[in-house]
Each structure stands twice: as C-alpha cells, then as structure tokens.
C-alpha cells in the first residue's frame, strides 16, 4: 500500500524504524537522503522531500547519509530473508554465528536487523517454527515420539522443555486431537447476549457470543466436555465482570494456541489500553512488518477468546469499525464501555 505524504512525514518525525525500507527522505538544505529512523536532528518540514526508493532520491541529486546508511536497507532485507530461509530449511536449531556467516554479517548486527524485521530474535523465531511443526506433527503422527523427531527436535527432553506452556494440553492428548482433555463450559446471559465460556484446567480456551454446545464440540471434537458446576462458577463470574466492564477485570488465565505470528498479534492486542483503538496497519508496523496488514486481520479474526484478547479494539485505518465475528453492535458497545470507563 502506498504511503501518503502525511504518513511519511509522521513516521520520519517519530523516527519509526518500522518504515525503514518503505521510503527515504531527501533534505534539500544538506543534499543528503536518510532512512525514516535516522538519529540525526530533524530538518524543517519545508526542506524535506519524500521518495519511495533510494535510487529516486539519488536521481534527484541527493547522496546517502553516512550516519544512517539508507542504502543498506536492501542489504539488510536480503540478509534477513537468507536467515529466514535457513531457519525454515533446517530441521534443527541453527546457531546465530552460522546464520551470520552465511549472511555476511556479524552475529550482533544480524541479531539487530533480524529482530527489527520480524519482531523476534533468530533463536526465538527458530523455536516458533519448531513449535508450529510440532503441533502439525502431533496432529498427524500416530506416536508422540515420531512426532517429536518429525518436528525437528533432538529428542523428547528438548521437546518437552521447549514446548512447556505452549500446547495448552499434554503432547499425547494433542496427538489424539484433544482426547482425554476435560473442558468445562457454560452458556450464560450477559448484557451483550448469550456468552459461551469454556476452559481447561490451564485457562479459558473459548469465549464467544451467540454460540452453544454444538459450536464448542465442533472446535474441540475429541475433548471431554463437562457442564460447568460450582467450581466453574467463580471463573464465570470473573469473565462476566470483564465483559460487562471491559478492561477493568482481573487477569484471567488463558489456554489458547496459535501460530507464532498469531501469538505476536494477540500480544499486541492485549497491549492496547482500554478506551483506545489501533488500525491493522499500526499493529503490523508495531510488529516490525508494516506490509502485513492482511495477515494481522487474519490473526485478529482467529482470536478464540473475545474480549479477553481484545480484538474489538482493532479498527480500519480511516476509523471505521470494520468487521467483528459477533456483529458490529457488540463491537461498538464494547468500545463505548471502555471509553466511558
């Protein structure tokens, strides 16, 4: 998506690294061009010229800033892509030094540019890839041990250490599609309509509106569904309170699983203060991937726990509400309540 003059000027003013590589700024008074994140003192607005590519700036007679080296953006991008390809191709952990050598960078510099581009260190990104492969393998393989090695782990001990707290259920249960996992559930009335709440012993795994037992069974076909009793009532009260007064409830434990990118998007959603909103583009930029607005939208829509992961706080770039899985009226009301609080 093309950036407007205002968007580029604002990104340059706040030194936003997320926009490096998307445009450069020519400074008429000095004859140089810079990255948006250049640490140099900002020139007067009337002295700024904006270009989508470095060669356009050079064609107008500007030369590259020696402080921020805007010409290195393309080189950094190529290095990150090379590192990503290695991490995806190798069915094993890849050392930072090995990645750096292949990219022609020092380990420290590669770590910096990789994290800037993806929001994760190479090691964390590699772990996320192995975790995603483990989830897929555990769903497809007949034995847990086979799934462990198919996912690229060296053995069971490293697998269990790396996956601790990420599956939301035991690996054996995951391999059987959730068989043997007990999920308590209830449908309760709220001012927003009937709310379905479901939770494992680790936390809430589903919160939705206008859904029932049939929808829950479709999502967890092999789990043991148990109608919530007295022990479940306390959690129900906490969640209802969070729905009725969004943003002011207690810190309710969650048991949700997503891809590495989805988890990063959901973390960004939970970081949005109550009463505020963000656009898909703003979240993508915060992740260091400004071109990923559509992917952010998909991750937002995949959120399994409404309100607790506040996907209702994401709106369109122009301020329009945009879509919501449970209807625009519920989204508008949630935002109204948060602004009022």
Among 48, 103, 205, 311, the active-site one is 311
48 is catalytic: no
Structure tokens at 318: 């122009």
Structure tokens at 138: 């555990």
* Cβ atoms of 260 and 120 closer than 8 Å: yes
Among 34, 48, 103, 205, the active-site one is 34
**Rounded to 5 degrees, what are φ and ψ at 97?**
-60, -40
Paired with 50 in beta bridges are 25
Sheet holding 48-51, edge to edge: 48-51, 24-27, 32-34, 63-64
* Cβ atoms of 129 and 88 closer than 8 Å: yes
CA distances from 166 to 105, 127, 130, 146, 277 (A): 32, 11, 12, 19, 28
205 is catalytic: no
Structure tokens at 299: 């991750």
Parallel, antiparallel or unpaired: strands 182-190 and 193-199: antiparallel
Is there a binding annotation on residue 69? no
Look up residue 2 and give its DSSP letter: P
* Cβ atoms of 184 and 193 closer than 8 Å: no
Q: In which region does residue 41 sit, left (phi positive, over 0), alpha (psi from -120 to 50) or beta (all else)?
A: beta
d(C-alpha 161, C-alpha 147), whole Å: 15
d(C-alpha 17, C-alpha 333), whole Å: 35
User: Which residue carries 């990219």 as its tokens?
Assistant: 103
Is there a binding annotation on residue 48? no
* Cβ atoms of 190 and 207 closer than 8 Å: no
Q: How many helices (H) and strands (E) does the chain have?
A: 15, 10
Would you name the residues annotated as active-site residues? 34, 311
Binding residues for Zn(2+), by number, are 34, 38, 65, 68
Binding residues, by number, are 34, 38, 65, 68
């Amino acid at each position: 998506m093309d950036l407007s003059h205002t968007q580029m000027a604002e990104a340059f003013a706040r030194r936003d690294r997320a926009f490096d590589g998307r445009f450069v700024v020519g400074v008429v008074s000095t004859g140089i061009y810079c990255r948006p994140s250049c640490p140099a003192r900002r020139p007067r607005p009337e002295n700024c010229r904006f270009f989508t590519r470095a060669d356009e700036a050079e064609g107008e007679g500007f030369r590259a800033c020696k402080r921020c080296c805007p010409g290195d953006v393309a080189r950094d991008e190529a290095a990150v892509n090379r590192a990503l390809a290695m991490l995806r191709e190798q069915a094993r952990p890849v050392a930072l030094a090995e990645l750096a050598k292949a990219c022609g960078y020092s380990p420290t510099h590669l770590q910096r540019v990789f994290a800037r581009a993806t929001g994760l260190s190479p090691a964390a990104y590699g772990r996320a890839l192995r975790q995603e492969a483990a989830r897929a393998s555990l769903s497809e393989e007949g034995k847990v041990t086979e799934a462990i090695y198919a996912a690229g782990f060296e053995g069971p001990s490293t697998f269990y250490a790396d996956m601790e707290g990420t599956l939301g259920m035991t690996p054996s249960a995951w391999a059987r599609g959730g068989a043997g996992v007990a999920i308590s559930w209830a449908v309760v009335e709220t001012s927003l309509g009937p709310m379905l709440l479901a939770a494992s012993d680790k936390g809430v795994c589903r919160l939705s509106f206008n859904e029932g037992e049939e929808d829950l069974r479709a999502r967890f076909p092999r789990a043991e569904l148990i109608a919530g009793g007295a022990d479940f009532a306390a959690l129900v009260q906490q969640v209802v309170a969070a729905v009725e007064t969004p943003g002011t409830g207690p810190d309710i434990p969650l048991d949700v699983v997503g891809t590495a990118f989805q988890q990063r998007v959901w973390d960004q959603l939970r970081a949005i203060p109550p009463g505020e909103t963000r656009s898909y583009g703003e979240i993508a930029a915060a992740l260091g991937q400004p071109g990923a607005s559509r992917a952010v939208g998909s991750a937002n829509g995949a959120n399994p726990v409404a309100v607790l992961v506040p996907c209702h706080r994401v709106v369109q770039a122009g301020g329009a509400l945009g879509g919501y899985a449970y209807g625009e009226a519920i989204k508008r009301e949630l935002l109204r309540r948060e602004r009022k609080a």
